[in-house]
Structure 1
Amino acid sequence: MAIRPALPTESTVREWDDDADPSGQTFSKVQFIDADLTEVANRGGVFEECTFRGVRFNASTHTEAAFVNCTFVRCSLFDTAFTRCKFVGTAFDDCTYNLMKVTGGDWSFTALPGADLKGTEWTGVKLREADLTGIKAAKAVLRDLDLSGASLQRADFSGADLRGSDLSQLDPLTVTLRDARIDVTQAMVVAASLGLDVRP
């Protein structure tokens, strides 16, 4: 699925120094190509309107960092952990997310159309008006998410744990929910969206 074009950049980084630490630094309009950020520990680093192409983030950790209006293309996010990070307006295209964990933070207006999020863990994340069209989130943990205004058409939530998440935008006729785990309040929301008369 197509995403918006990457924003223009002003400089390019092709190799990441093993000793480099992005913590506390700000990168603006930088294009990172095939850089290896494996096992990087990023605390508070800020990336604004940057593009990452073929970058490896494997086993890296990012705490209270920001990736605002960035673009990720064919990046590997294997076993990557994001804690209380800001991803507002960022787009992902053809990336891999195996074992990725996201805890807290603001991912509003993020574009993840068609992303294979199977087995990933998302807890307490704000995903307002995010484009999650066609995501494959089978057996993913998607707990306590703010999905208000999010696009969820054709999403596959088979066996996913959705408890505590806002499902008000979910149309059960356009998504796959087989064996998904939801709570009683969510069950009432889903039933109401099907036109059922829900009464105590």
Structure 2
Amino acid sequence: MAERMGGRSAPKTESTIRDWDDADPSGQTYSRVLFVDSDLTEVNNHRGVFEECVFRGVRFNASVHHEAAFVNCTFVRCSFFDSTFTRCKLMGSMFDDCTYNLMKVEGGDWSFVGLPGANLTGVELSGTKLREADLTGLRAGKSVLRNVDLSGASMQRADFTGADLRGSDLSTLDPLSVTLKDAIVDLPQAIVITTSLGLEVRP
């Protein structure tokens, strides 16, 4: 399992739910629960709260999550195909060996999230906080990362080939340690990147 930033271990779970089919987590709160091999395809989760839970082999395909919370959770070998997260809180959660095809994230707070080596190719994130997130080795080719707060995020060896980064905070991005070929940036971002390369911008 991928390590959390600082080498912190995942919280220990206290109960287990297997094959959690026909689930409706809306308005419910779950704490330190291990969910195993459950099918949450097309689940509509409105304000469900998961605290320090572990999801192993759970399918979130085509699920919709609105103002829900997954705080300090761990996701292992989960599928998020065509899932949607709107104004959700995932602070401190860790993702390991998951798939994210066509996932969409709008708003919300994903600060301190661990996504090392994740393949976010084609994923759309808009207006999301990813402060101090672990994005080491991230593969985000042709993804949309618009107006995303990436301040303090670890982005070494990240690949943003062809990604739309306009409006995102790139103040801590080291252009020499990431791949930015054909990435789309706005003028203020271009100045930030140019300045970080030690160049002086003049009219």
Q: What band does the TM-score fall into relative to the shorter chain?
A: over 0.9
| Aligned-pair Cα RMSD in Å | 0.9
Please report how far the alpha carbon of residue 2 of structure 1 lies from its aligned counterpart in structure 2 after TM superposition.
2.4
Equivalent residue, structure 2, for 1:11: 15
Aligned to 2:184: 181
Query: Is the 8 Å Cα contact of residues 21 and 38 (structure 2) preserved in structure 1?
Result: no
CA shift for structure 1 position 6: 2.7
Aligned-pair identity in percent equals 73
Partner in structure 2 of residue 63 of structure 1? 66
- AA aligned opposite 2:10: A
Question: What CA deviation, in whole Å up to 9, does each residue of 1:147-179 have, x standing for no partner?
Answer: 110001100000000000000011110100000
Verify: 1:151 aligned to 2:177, yes or no: no
Look up the equivalent residue of 2:80 and give its one-letter code: L
Using the TM superposition, give the Cα deviation of residue 46 of structure 1 relative to its aligned residue in structure 2, in angstroms. Answer: 0.1
Cα distance, 1:126 vs. partner?
A: 0.3
Q: Which residue of the other structure, out of 189, 193, 199, is the alignment partner of 1:196?
A: 199
When normalised by structure 2's length, the TM-score is 0.96
User: Is 1:133 matched with 2:133?
Assistant: no
Query: Unpaired runs of 5+ in structure 2?
Result: none
- List gaps (5 residues or longer) in structure 1: none
- Which of these residues, 67, 72, 77, is aligned with residue 74 of structure 1? 77
What's 2:36 paired with? Answer: 33
Say yes or no: does 1:119 pair with 2:122.
Answer: yes
C-alpha distance in 1 between matches for 2:189 and 2:126? 17
| Per-residue Cα deviation, 1:27-86 (whole angstroms, up to 9, x for no partner) | 000000011000000000000000000000000000000000000000000001000000
After TM superposition, give the deviation of residue 198 of structure 1 in Å.
1.0
1:187 aligned counterpart, secondary structure: helix
Number of residue pairs aligned between Structure 1 and Structure 2: 199
Q: Matches of 2:21 and 2:152 in 1, distance apart?
A: 40
Task: Tell me what 1:2 maps to.
Answer: 2
TM-score by length of 1: 0.98
2:65 is the counterpart of 1:45: no
* Map of 1:93 onto structure 2: 96
- Provide the rounded CA distance (Å) in 1 between the counterparts of 2:170 and 2:73: 27
